[in-house]
């Protein structure tokens, strides 16, 4: 099969990763891969010039003995040697010595033509809004151009417009073929051969505005850009005690504004789906911000979505918001319109992993497509890659806009995923000073503690917990420095304002410690009693999990532990059993991607060089594995799989083969990602020396240990938003369990095992697991969970580096 991929509509980060994945997986599956430049416009223009240069390097090559890319992978070798590896890199294809793209919009590409593409923002194959493709003649010409090159399978990455175009094209295809045949432009044989068009859509859109998928490609990166801007503005706003009104993208969808509000710690947001409830949004906003100022806030951040409206559908514009804040509250207010900076820049880790997985699924869907199957859109739902009928998703998306136009805001919200609604409610809970105090007797003193190593999002979670407590009339108590600090009475009450700027802070504001309560359980119990804790929130990694287990077991002897207790997983290792994500796991992945992009650049700049990059992660291979997928590493070593001589011998052969197959005159950097404890014997140092020795004249080797840089300086927006969502759930859990206990006689309260629980994320929904039950899913010796979801990703990452025989993809 010949598969072509195009990007269309507004560009978004991650589109290159889609092209890379479709090309690589397509070739690995035995297909020819093509790209269409300039979206649908390129299809319409087609190829007016013949291929200018020899695209296949047919000089014989001597593969190393026992080359791991063997003869059975002829197609791969052929495709590796097809192209020059630099095609389109500068967006024009006009590199000296490479194929010229002049007059060619539909271009065959080789495996290595798309190497390293996913570190680049935008789309390297160009995108456009094509008026001609909207016309029947335009689509007829597009069909002709495709058939001329023998292509009848298409992957389209774009917004709802582009996907509609795809659907129209597919529906019309038989008619187009008939016309082309009757006009004598194609033969009957060709008409028969290309009777059906296979088409698959991927959603590339920074607004996250498509229904039936939880995330669109490019939205997480845009959120990164917005949060960076808010973090920068925060310091200047605070210095001058100013107000800032930020306009962000999102004509019909408030996802960016909402998530930016939650993760950037904004005071007020305006989104299209949920306008302010009162008739006068001006009063509502001013009242809220006035109260913030009254308690001593020096800065004000208001976020306005591009499509923000009031209850009567009148647009709410940033300049008007500014005038209101200036005139009514006397605030020195500035407007910042982020505009196209939101689209730009390097894709974040998620916008590399998601498009890669979705691109792979798109190829599968094309291969399985039949004349009667619908065109699919590839989405992601509950952390699983999905296929949904394309037009159903487009119609559902339009239904949101219709609901807004009909002022049915409840309906508009209900069309968004449940996380959207929860995030909105969460935002209100932690950003306003309204009170929803619970009855006096239900009010609690809640201890909040950080455990283990710092992880991105710990402080954001604490901020959310504190604000929830205050809103509900509870007392939030910081326990500094873990159980050590508790024994030393390092505790103090936290305030609403005191935690205001904690969202963007990395590290741990409370201080953490690895000491387990078992060190002196009796003394810990007496401190619980002395400080009259009614509930405990522990934010941390495996230590927090182990501590909760110890405290729960300690209930047999110490009544002070008969209070509700929760563990909110936060660790860069992501090694807490059962949960798919911990706070900090996204931040660390981004830190890894940043470091590896820089390392790879240096590795390619000098000569062929392999970099062995060592990651943290303890005995859990999460960062190494998912990091390998996000950075395009060639090999990955994890503690779960270990390293032995056979593996090393095979891997060295693989690297030699890859360097032998590289285009002549091109210097390539390659990454090998290795977890710090993947092997006691084959350490990073040993490995680097071995590769250097074995690489001979083919490649050199160096190593880099990322160490604590993986904790990341600033928490990622994803970790911050997750922190808020989880933390609020934790607080509600403590309240619920406390009320249950209050029903028992005060002298002999007995907490059930369920009241000591861990909050976990599974398939994007949140669940509570009693800590005792978690044990069955934990490898306590190696401090990690059993059967993690990322187990299969190692093979996928290595396969995309050109090693198909491992998983039988060929």
Residues found near ligand ATP in the complex (CB under 6 A): 8-10, 40, 129-130, 133-134, 158-162, 164-165, 168, 205
Q: Under DSSP, is residue 387 helix (H, G, I), strand (E, B) or coil?
A: strand
In 3D space, the residue among 298, 223, 301, 284 whose CA is nearest the CA of residue 255 turns out to be: 223
Q: How far is the CB of 400 from ligand ATP (least distance, A)?
A: 14
Q: How far is the CB of 138 from ligand ATP (least distance, A)?
A: 8
Q: How far is the CB of 664 from ligand ATP (least distance, A)?
A: 39
**147 versus 202: smaller Cβ distance to ligand ATP:** 202
Residue of closest CB approach to ligand ATP: 161
Q: How far is the CB of 256 from ligand ATP (least distance, A)?
A: 13
Residue 557 burial (CB < 10 Å; 0-12/13-18/19+)?
Answer: exposed
Contact status, residue 802 vs residue 632, Cβ threshold 8 Å: no
In 3D space, the residue among 80, 118, 116, 84 whose CA is nearest the CA of residue 98 turns out to be: 84
Q: How far is the CB of 201 from ligand ATP (least distance, A)?
A: 10
Residue located via tokens 């992880």: 455
**165 versus 506: smaller Cβ distance to ligand ATP:** 165
Q: Rounded to whole angstroms, how far apart are CA atoms 349 and 358?
A: 14
Q: Rounded to whole angstroms, how far apart are CA atoms 425 and 360?
A: 35
Q: Under 8 Å CB-to-CB from 665, ≥6 apart: which residues?
A: 97
Q: Rounded to whole angstroms, how far apart are CA atoms 543 and 661?
A: 47
Residue 755 burial (CB < 10 Å; 0-12/13-18/19+)?
Answer: buried
In 3D space, the residue among 31, 32, 28, 34 whose CA is nearest the CA of residue 4 turns out to be: 34
Q: What is the CA radius of gyration of the chain?
A: 28
Q: How far is the CB of 202 from ligand ATP (least distance, A)?
A: 11
Q: How far is the CB of 167 from ligand ATP (least distance, A)?
A: 8
Tell me, rounded to whole angstroms, the distance of Cα 113 from its chain centroid: 25
Q: Rounded to whole angstroms, how far apart are CA atoms 654 and 650?
A: 6
Structure tokens at 121: 């923002």
**43 versus 761: smaller Cβ distance to ligand ATP:** 43
**12 versus 300: smaller Cβ distance to ligand ATP:** 12
Burial call 244-275: b when 16+ CB within 10 Å, e when fewer: bbbbbbbebbbbbbbbbbbbbbbbbbbbbbbb
**105 versus 699: smaller Cβ distance to ligand ATP:** 105
**362 versus 549: smaller Cβ distance to ligand ATP:** 362
**12 versus 799: smaller Cβ distance to ligand ATP:** 12
Q: Under DSSP, is residue 52 helix (H, G, I), strand (E, B) or coil?
A: coil
Q: Under 8 Å CB-to-CB from 43, ≥6 apart: which residues?
A: 6, 36, 105, 106, 133, 142, 145, 146
Please report the DSSP string for 394-431 in residue order. HHHHHHHHHHHHTT-HHHHHHHS-HHHHHHHHHHHHHH
- CB count in 10 Å sphere of residue 437: 12
Q: Residue 189 is inside which H or E element, if any?
A: helix 188-193
CA angle centred on 556, ends 551 and 559, rounded to 5°: 75
CA angle centred on 654, ends 651 and 656, rounded to 5°: 115
**8 versus 587: smaller Cβ distance to ligand ATP:** 8
Active site residues: 207
Q: Rounded to whole angstroms, how far apart are CA atoms 142 and 554?
A: 72
Q: How far is the CB of 219 from ligand ATP (least distance, A)?
A: 11
**375 versus 573: smaller Cβ distance to ligand ATP:** 375
Q: How far is the CB of 133 from ligand ATP (least distance, A)?
A: 4
**39 versus 804: smaller Cβ distance to ligand ATP:** 39
Residue 765 burial (CB < 10 Å; 0-12/13-18/19+)?
Answer: exposed
**139 versus 784: smaller Cβ distance to ligand ATP:** 139
DSSP state of 323: H
DSSP state of 118: G
Q: How far is the CB of 372 from ligand ATP (least distance, A)?
A: 22
Q: How far is the CB of 259 from ligand ATP (least distance, A)?
A: 18
Rounded to 5 degrees, φ, ψ at 315 are -60, 145
In 3D space, the residue among 251, 211, 252, 218 whose CA is nearest the CA of residue 391 turns out to be: 211
Half-sphere exposure of residue 84: CA atoms within 13 angstroms, side-chain side: 18
In 3D space, the residue among 454, 450, 484 whose CA is nearest the CA of residue 465 turns out to be: 450
Structure tokens at 257: 């504004």
**9 versus 116: smaller Cβ distance to ligand ATP:** 9
Q: How far is the CB of 302 from ligand ATP (least distance, A)?
A: 25
């Amino acid at each position: 099969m010949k598969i072509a991929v195009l990007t269309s509509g507004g560009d978004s980060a991650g589109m290159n990763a889609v092209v890379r994945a479709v090309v690589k997986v397509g070739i690995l599956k035995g297909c020819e891969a093509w790209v269409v430049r300039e979206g649908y416009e390129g299809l319409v223009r087609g190829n007016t010039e013949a291929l200018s240069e020899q695209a296949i390097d047919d000089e014989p090559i001597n593969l190393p003995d026992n080359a791991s890319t063997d003869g059975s992978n002829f197609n791969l070798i052929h495709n590796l040697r097809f192209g020059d590896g630099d095609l389109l890199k500068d967006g024009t294809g006009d590199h000296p010595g490479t194929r010229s793209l002049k007059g060619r919009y539909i271009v065959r590409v080789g495996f290595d033509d798309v190497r390293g593409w996913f570190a680049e923002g935008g789309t390297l194959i160009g995108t456009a809004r094509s008026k001609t493709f909207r016309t029947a003649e335009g689509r007829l010409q597009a069909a002709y151009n495709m058939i001329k090159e023998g292509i009848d399978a298409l992957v389209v990455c774009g917004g709802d417009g582009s996907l509609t175009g795809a659907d129209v094209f597919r529906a019309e295809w038989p008619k187009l073929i008939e016309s082309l045949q009757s006009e004598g432009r194609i033969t009957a044989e060709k008409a028969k051969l290309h009777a059906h068009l296979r088409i698959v859509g991927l959603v590339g859109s920074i607004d996250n505005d498509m229904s039936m998928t939880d995330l669109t490609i490019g939205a997480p990166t845009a959120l990164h850009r917005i949060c960076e801007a808010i973090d920068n503005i925060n310091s200047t706003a605070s210095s001058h005690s100013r107000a800032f009104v930020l306009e962000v993208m999102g004509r019909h969808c408030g996802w960016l504004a909402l998530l930016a509000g939650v993760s950037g710690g904004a005071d007020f947001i305006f989104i299209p789906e949920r306008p302010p409830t009162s008739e006068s949004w001006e009063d509502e906003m001013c009242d809220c911000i006035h109260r913030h100022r009254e308690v001593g806030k020096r800065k004000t951040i208001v976020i306005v979505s591009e499509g923000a409206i009031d209850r009567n559908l009148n647009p709410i514009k940033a300049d008007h918001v500014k005038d209101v804040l200036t005139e009514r509250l006397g605030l020195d207010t500035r407007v910042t319109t982020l505009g196209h900076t939101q689209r730009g820049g390097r894709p974040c880790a998620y916008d590399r992993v998601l498009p890669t997985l979705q691109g792979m699924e798109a190829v599968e869907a094309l291969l399985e497509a039949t004349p009667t199957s619908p065109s699919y859109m590839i989405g992601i739902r509950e952390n699983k890659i999905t296929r949904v009928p394309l037009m159903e998703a487009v119609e559902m998306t339009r239904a949101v806009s219709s609901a807004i136009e009909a002022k049915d805001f409840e309906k508009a919200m209900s069309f968004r995923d449940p996380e959207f609604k929860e995030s909105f409610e969460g935002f209100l809970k932690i950003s306003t000073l309204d009170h929803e105090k619970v009855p006096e007797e239900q009010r609690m003193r809640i201890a909040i503690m950080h455990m283990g190593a710092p992880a991105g999002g710990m402080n954001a979670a604490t901020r959310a917990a504190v604000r929830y407590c205050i809103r509900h009339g509870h007392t939030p108590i910081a326990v500094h420095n873990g159980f050590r600090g508790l024994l030393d009475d390092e505790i103090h009450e936290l305030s609403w304002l005191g935690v205001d700027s904690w969202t963007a802070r990395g590290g741990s504001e409370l201080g953490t410690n690895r000491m387990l309560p078992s060190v002196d359980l009796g003394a810990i119990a007496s401190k619980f009693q002395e400080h009259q804790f009614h509930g405990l929130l522990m934010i941390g990694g495996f230590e927090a999990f182990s501590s909760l287990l110890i405290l729960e077991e300690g209930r047999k002897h110490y009544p002070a532990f008969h209070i509700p207790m929760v563990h909110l997983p936060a660790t860069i290792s992501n090694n807490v059993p059962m949960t798919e994500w911990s706070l900090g796991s996204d931040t660390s992945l981004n830190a890894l991607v940043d470091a590896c992009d820089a390392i790879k650049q240096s590795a390619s700049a000098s000569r062929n060089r392999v970099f062995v990059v060592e990651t943290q992660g303890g005995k859990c291979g999460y960062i190494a594995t998912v990091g390998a997928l996000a950075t395009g590493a060639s090999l990955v070593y994890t503690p779960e799989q270990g390293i032995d001589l056979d593996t090393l011998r095979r891997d060295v052969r693989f690297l030699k083969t890859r360097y032998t197959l590289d285009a002549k005159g091109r210097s390539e950097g390659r990454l090998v990602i290795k977890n710090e404890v993947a092997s006691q014997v084959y350490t990073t140092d040993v490995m680097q020396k071995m590769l250097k020795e074995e690489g001979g004249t083919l490649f050199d080797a160096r190593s880099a240990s990322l160490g604590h840089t993986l904790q990341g300086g600033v928490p990622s927006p994803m970790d911050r938003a997750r922190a808020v969502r989880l933390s609020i759930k934790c607080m509600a859990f403590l309240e619920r369990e406390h009320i249950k206990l209050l029903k028992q006689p005060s002298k002999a309260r007995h907490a059930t095992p369920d009241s000591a629980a861990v909050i976990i994320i599974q398939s994007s929904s949140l669940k509570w697991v009693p800590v005792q039950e978690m044990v069955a899913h934990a490898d306590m010796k190696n401090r990690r969970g059993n059967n993690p979801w990322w187990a299969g990703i190692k093979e996928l990452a290595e396969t995309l580096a050109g090693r198909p025989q491992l998983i039988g993809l060929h």
